[in-house]
């Protein structure tokens, strides 16, 4: 019969020393509260404003937590706390202008939102009143036309690059040109579309379809790159299994590759729409502006939300005699900006929902 010898007392001491002391979980919160208190005290005593006192408090928190960790946890723990503090500090720094921008747009644009603002145009409007009905429909129609142009071209280009063009000179040239188009300024796309339509129809041409063509030049590179990456993520085993069953390549692409990557492709398309829906320069150059509703992309000028915001803020009107406040155009511009941000936010949420819904189903338990 085997016997076990009890551990020596020194063995317990050694095993206990292997676990170094750690700061409590509430230590970062305590450091932040103390730093904010010191920053507020400095603001009161020295007469600082909110921004310098807040920056001073952040610096105290970033320095204080690693110092406390150095005294208790050692150098490795202090380095980890310092890196974590820097990451959170960078995140907060990026978050500040975003929150400030959203707050400013909501605070200044929400009072302008009403049923009249959403259902009226600017025809025969001189002072207060009017709305974004014509600009809203112009944005929807031009963006929809740009999507119809861009999606087939971008998707077929991505399919060629991934499935047919590996190692070919044409594929390398196409990839290079797509990368170049990704960095084209929006005004250059607008000038190209304007030159194209001026050559065909004359110098006085200003139509909504021209704005759709200009936006499609900005959308196509995004659609190509996102669809290309999604198609490359499809495992090669799925293609080989389809080929082993005698299915031709084109049918494998349609029935296997595209359904597997459709979620990411749709997400990339929606994000491309969100990227171009706020462009101002190409639409101002090609589509022009108008005060009334125009549902025909091929006849006459069309107003869009970005151009509407620009025109209202550059020509806000005149304050009536005897009244105080800003010109009425400023409120309309902020209201249109809030509507545009809401549309972009909805598109991003739709992209995430679609990507999650069409994601390939797995047997992994979460």
pTM greater than 0.85:
no
In 3D, which of 263, 265, 316 has the Cα closest to residue 151? 265
Which pLDDT belongs to residue 322? 64
Give all domains of the chain, ordered by start, each with its CATH number: 22-112 (no CATH), 116-316+326-357 (1.10.3720.10)
C-beta separation of 182 from 225 below 8 A? yes
Instruction: Report the distance separating Cα 272 and Cα 152, nearest Å.
Output: 14
For residue 20, the model assigns a pLDDT of 66
**DSSP calls for 288-305:** ---SS----TTSS----H
pLDDT at 362: 57
Q: Which pLDDT does position 176 carry in this prediction?
A: 92
Res 316: pLDDT: 79
Compute the distance between CA of residue 63 and CA of residue 81 in angstroms, rounded to an integer.
Answer: 10
pLDDT in tens, 114-138: 888 888 888 877 777 788 999 999 9
User: Would you give the DSSP letter of residue 164?
Assistant: I
Question: Average pLDDT by consecutive 10-residue portion of the chain (366 residues)?
Answer: 50 48 84 87 82 84 86 84 86 86 90 88 80 91 93 93 88 90 88 89 87 92 92 88 88 89 87 88 88 88 91 80 76 91 88 75 51
C-beta separation of 150 from 212 below 8 A: no
């Amino acid at each position: 019969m085997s016997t076990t010898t009890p551990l020596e007392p020194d063995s317990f001491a050694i095993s206990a020393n292997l676990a170094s002391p750690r700061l409590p979980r509430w230590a970062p919160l305590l450091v932040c509260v103390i730093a904010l208190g010191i920053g507020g005290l400095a603001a009161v005593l020295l007469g600082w404003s909110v921004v310098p006192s807040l920056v001073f408090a952040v610096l105290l928190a970033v320095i204080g937590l690693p110092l406390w960790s150095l005294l208790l946890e050692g150098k490795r723990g202090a380095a980890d706390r310092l890196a974590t503090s820097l990451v959170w500090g960078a995140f907060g720094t990026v978050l500040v202008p975003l929150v400030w921008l959203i707050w400013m747009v909501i605070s200044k644009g929400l009072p302008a939102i009403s049923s009249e603002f959403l259902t009226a145009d600017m025809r025969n409007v001189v002072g207060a009143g009017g709305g974004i009905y014509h600009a809203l429909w112009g944005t929807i129609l031009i963006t929809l036309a740009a999507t119809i142009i861009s999606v087939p071209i971008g998707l077929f280009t991505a399919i060629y690059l991934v499935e047919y063009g590996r190692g070919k000179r044409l594929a390398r040239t196409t990839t290079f040109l797509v990368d170049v188009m990704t960095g084209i300024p929006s005004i250059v796309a607008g000038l190209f579309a304007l030159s194209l339509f001026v050559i065909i129809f004359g110098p006085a041409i200003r139509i909504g379809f021209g704005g759709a063509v200009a936006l499609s030049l900005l959308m196509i590179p995004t659609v190509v790159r996102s669809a290309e990456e999604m198609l490359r993520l499809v495992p090669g085993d799925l293609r080989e299994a389809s080929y082993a069953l005698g299915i031709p390549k084109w049918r494998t692409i349609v029935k296997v590759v595209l359904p597997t990557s459709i979620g990411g492709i749709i997400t990339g398309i929606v994000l491309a729409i969100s990227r171009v829906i706020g462009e101002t320069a190409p639409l101002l150059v090609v589509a022009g502006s108008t005060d009334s509703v125009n549902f025909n992309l091929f006849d006459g000028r069309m107003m869009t939300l970005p151009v509407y915001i620009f025109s209202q803020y550059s020509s806000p009107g005149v304050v009536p005699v005897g009244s105080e406040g800003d010109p009425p155009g400023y409120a309309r511009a902020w209201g249109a900006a809030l509507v545009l941000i809401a549309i972009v936010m909805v598109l991003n949420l739709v992209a995430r929902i679609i990507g999650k819904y069409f994601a390939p189903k797995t047997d992994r338990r979460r």
